[in-house]
Every structure is written in structure tokens, then in C-alpha cells.
Amino acid sequence: MVITGSRMKPQPLRIGIWAGVATDNLEDNAARIEAAITAASQQSANLVLTPECALSGYPGAARESCHDIDCRALAQLEARLHQHAASHHVGLLLGSVDNIADTQWSNDVVWCDPQGLQRTRYRKRCLTPMDRQHFVPGTQAVCIDYLGWRLGLTICFDVRFPHIWADCVMADCNLFINVAHMAGSNDDHGAKPIVIPSFYSVRAAEWATPIMFCNTGAADRWLDSGYWDHRGMPQEHHGQDLAIYTLPDHPSRQDWHRDLRQQQLQRWQQRGP
């Protein structure tokens, strides 16, 4: 488990969720992300989310593979976006990739702190069959302390695996973040657009913890970006471009929901190997 940042008195979060569409052109992707950061800042956002692989382009959709990515250019653009966000006093969760060894790549969400000093990577731990053609899985949970919230980072397919979310709650996470490229051929008789939103409702409800979700804005997406509250109820959602969502100073859980979260946590902690 990696926890970065320091805890403070909770503050309201204004979250800019940018449901953009990536291409295989890193510079073009970066320019669109910069514009989204600027627009979110102008609407008083203090946190911006991008979709999975928003900077690099998602292999199998925006690009054929990661092997033609210029690693130096990618690193420079990550640094540029970090400084751009910091200049607007905005925290950034950026979908990108990383060449971790020879031909091995990871699928990452990169935390860029608003001081422009620190970048922390969560590497996607649960990979689809197509993901495994391009990526190796991460091994660590990552939580970020920001404005009094502890953000538990997850990516896309992680939503299907309860232990990923339990790891975040065992670190006292109080807001889940999931960035995704939930799009593509819907070859299982239309199940994905029906079933996948239910996973998010369940993850939020079973831990009494809200989820902020940033998906690609691609035309073939299976669901829209938005959020689920601590009851698992879907709230505001939008399909494309930028929208701003406001969360108050922590979800006001009733005693019933607090007890549910505590019971669930105790049961996970008591599980054997």
C-alpha cells in the first residue's frame, strides 16, 4: 500500500471530469488535456480526472500497441501537464502508461500534486485479456490524501474485483476514484451497458463510499462518466467533454451506513489467506 500526501481538515471537492477521446498523437492528447485543466480551473475545480490512457491513447483502440510510444516525449508531456495543473492550483489524476522494463508497460493513473512537486503512479492491477497483450499488472494499492479526503485509486476492470476496493478501505479511503476506457465492441448480447453500472453501485454501496468515475467519451462507450453516492445511487452523469461535480466535506453517512462499512471492513480483515 502506498499513501501519499497529508491529512487535513476536510474541504469540499470540486471535481472536473473530462470525458475526452484520445488518439495516438501524444501532443494532441496533451493539448486537449491542458485545455480541460484550464476550463476546469475557470469553474473553480480543485481536482481534474482524465480517462484511462488519456495521454498515451488506449492500445487496441486509439493505437495498436505501446511499442511505438516515444518514452522521452511521454515523460516530458506528463511533466508539462503536471506543471500546467499546478499553475492553476489543481490536482490532476492523469491516465497514462509507463515503460517499466524493456518491452513491458504498465497502465497507470498518475497523481500530479497541485504544488507541482510529486507524481505518484497507481498501476492497474486487474487486466482484461486484451490488456494482457499490452500491459503487466501492478502490485500495490495507492491512496492519495488531498484536501481532507483519502482517494482510493482504481482503473477500469478493477471494478470487477472486490479485493481491490477492500485494500483502499483498509487504508481508510473515503472516496473511490475509477478512470476507464469502458468502450468497444459489445459482443456479449448487450450485457456490458447493463451490468457494468451495477458493479459501480455495488462497490459504492458495500463500502458506503462514493465513487467518482471518468470514462472515455468515445461514441462506443458502454456508460457515461459521473458518480455514485455512498448508498450506491447513481447521481449526475455526462457523456462527453468536461463537467464539474461538487462533493461536500465528506459524505454524511447515517449510523446505518457507518455500521455497514465497519462490519464489511471487519470481515475483510478477518479473512484467512
3-state SS of the chain? CEEECCCCCCCCEEEEEEECCCCCCHHHHHHHHHHHHHHHHHCCCCEEECCCCCCCCCECCCECCCCCCCHHHHHHHHHHHHHHHHHCCCEEEEEEEEEEECCEEEEEEEEECCCCCCEEEEECCCCCCCHHHCCCCCCCCEEEEECCEEEEEEEHHHHHCHHHHHHHHHCCCCEEEEEECCECCCCCCCCHHHHHHHHHHHHHHHHCCCEEEEECCCCCECCCEEEECCCCCEEEEECCEEEEEEECCCCCCCHHHHHHHHHHHHHHHHCCC
| Residues 6+ positions from 240 with CB-CB distance below 8 Å | 19, 20, 21, 217
91's grid cell? 490536482
Neighbours of 10 (CB within 10 A): 14
pLDDT of 10-47, one tens digit each? 888 999 999 999 999 999 999 999 999 999 999 999 99
Q: What is the mean pLDDT of residues 184-193?
A: 81
Q: How far apart are CA 144 and CA 2, in angstroms?
A: 8
- CATH number at 180 reads 3.60.110.10
State residue 251's pLDDT score: 57
CB 175 within 8 A of CB 213: no
Residues 152-185 have pLDDT tens digits of 999 999 999 999 999 999 999 999 999 999 999 8
Distance CA 212, CA 92 (A): 14
Residue predicted with more confidence, 2 or 74: 74
Distance (Å, whole) CA 113 – CA 5: 9
Residues 147, 11: contact at Cβ < 8 Å?
Answer: yes
CB 113 within 8 A of CB 6: no
The predicted pLDDT at position 249 comes to 64
Instruction: Yes or no: say if 93 and 81 are a contact pair by the CB < 8 Å rule.
Output: no
Distance CA 210, CA 201 (A): 9
Q: Domain range for residue 104?
A: 2-270
The C-alpha cell that represents 74 in the structure block: 511521454
Q: What is the pLDDT of residues 225-251, one digit of tens each?
A: 999 999 999 999 999 999 999 987 665
> How many independent structural domains does the chain possess?
1
What is the identity of the amino acid at 165? W
Rounded distance between C-alpha atoms, residue 233 and residue 161, angstroms: 20
Band of residue 257 on the pLDDT scale cut at 50, 70, 90? confident
- 254: number of Cβ within 10 Å: 11
- Mean model confidence pLDDT for the chain: 94
C-alpha cell at 202: 455495488
This prediction's pTM? 0.96
**Contact indicator for 96, 89 with CB cutoff of 8 Å:** no
| Cell 477521446 sits on residue | 21
